[in-house]
Each structure stands twice: as C-alpha cells, then as structure tokens.
Amino acid sequence: MEKSNILPTHIGIIMDGNGRWAQKRGMLRSIGHRYGTETIKPAISFCSGKGIKYLTLYAFSTENWKRPSYEVDTLMSLISEYLTKETAEMKANNVVLHFIGDIDKIPQKARATISWAEKETSENNGLNVNIALNYGGRAEIVMAAKKIASLSKQGAVSEDDINEGLISSLLYTAGIPEPDLIIRTGGEKRLSNFLIWQSAYSELYFSDVLWPDFKDDEFEKALDYYASRKRRFGGL
C-alpha cells in the first residue's frame, strides 16, 4: 500500500507556539493566539479534504488558568469570536463540532457560544472536530474514577466490572476512536496532559514549527511520518 493511502482515523494536535511566534515578532503573546486561531480553519479544511474522520485540538488546558489573566481573557474571547465567525461555514462544510473538558468552568458567554455551535453542527456527518477546552488528561481520569465510585455505591457496578472498556466509556471521549497520531508543534516533546489515557498507542510527531506557521506542507510531513510507522500495538 502506498504511503499516501495510509491515513489516521483520528489526529490530535497540541497547538503550541502561539505566544513565542508573537514574541519573535515583537508582538504581545495574545496577538499570537489570534494568529493561532486563524490556523485552525486551514487545519480543519486539510483534514476534511484528506478524509480524516476525527480531529481533536488542544485549545486550553486545566493548567492554562495559571497564565496571566489578560492572556486567559484573550483566549476565552477568541473562542466566542472564532465560533461566531466560523460556525456557519463549518455547518455548510459538514463539520461536526464537539467540546471536551470541564466546560462548566468556562465563562458564561463562551459557554453559550459553545452550546450554540455544537447544536448548529449536530446534524452533520463529516469531519468530527473535538476542541479540548479546560481539559486535562489526569482530571479526566479522576472524573471517571469518581463516576465508578458513585456507580459502585449505587450497586450498579462491581469490582469485576471495572476494566479498560468501562473507564473509556466514562471519559469525555466516550465513543470517539483513540488518536492514531498526535502532533505537537512548537518544538516541545511532551504530551502536557493531553489525552494521556487515549494516547497509549498513538504515534507521536513533534514539529519545531510554531503553530501559526503550521501549514499544509507541514501537515503532509506529519502524515508521511505516520505512514512510515509500523503499528504493532504490543504484538510482533
């Protein structure tokens, strides 16, 4: 099979480097986040054109609240702005929008826009775009553990019922295939609490390119890397 025919079903992206991209140009970090947001649209278009079924974007982690308040406020405003601007086109292009993470802790205006965007695209059946917002992999596993404890208290599950399938079904990503490929831009080589349960057998691709500069040609390099891998899942 040619490399071009070996495509991941699900790609996760850690969109890193927005702030550094801006600082290199003498701009505020917040401006870098705006340029980073503008890179999402071509990424969605690229994946849709390739026939990728799922794309999960790491937009804001549970740890990102530690950043300066002006930067956090900018990120939250950009979420509402982006969805207001782009949802109609995503709806027309058959994209399904879904948000994963502890959305209840997001500011009300952004939550309302998120709910609207999800509803607007809910009847589509093309590329599924999952945006991880106030998301943390460890917090997600803790959430699943608490759900299991509650179910156990109710007598709904026993110790023998607790397995990987049960845990997976209680995560934000329930019903979504595990990522085949995780891309991190910006030069860092770590997962930073992104899909840590789901990425057990993901192929990892690290790019030095900062997210605002991650265009189609860089995406092609990531797909070529994925196609070159032999995925054994612990076997031979």
Predicted confidence at residue 219, as pLDDT, reads 97
What are the tens digits of pLDDT across the range 133-163? 999 999 999 999 999 999 999 999 999 999 9
Residues tagged active-site: 16, 64
What the block records as the tokens of 94 is 């058959």
What the block records as the tokens of 183 is 């891309």
pLDDT of 236 > 80? The answer is no
* Dihedrals phi, psi of 194, to nearest 5 degrees: -100, 115
Q: Which domains does the chain have, with CATH numbers?
A: 8-136+178-228 (3.40.1180.10)
What are the tens digits of pLDDT across the range 19-76? 999 999 999 998 999 999 999 999 999 999 999 999 999 999 999 999 889 889 989 9
Three-state secondary structure along the chain? CCHHHCCCCEEEEECCCHHHHHHHCCCCHHHHHHHHHHHHHHHHHHHHHHCCCEEEEEEEECCHHHCCHHHHHHHHHHHHHHHHHHHHHHHHCCCEEEEECCHHHCCHHHHHHHHHHHHHHCCCCCCEEEEEEEECHHHHHHHHHHHHHHHHHCCCCCHHHCCHHHHHHCCCCCCCCCCCEEEECCCCCCCCCCCCCCCCCCEEEECCCCHHHCCHHHHHHHHHHHHHCCCCCCCC
Per cent of the chain over pLDDT 70 is 97
Looking at the whole model, is its pTM more than 0.85?
yes
For 217, residues 6+ apart whose C-beta sits below 8 A from its C-beta are none
pLDDT of 2 > 50? The answer is no
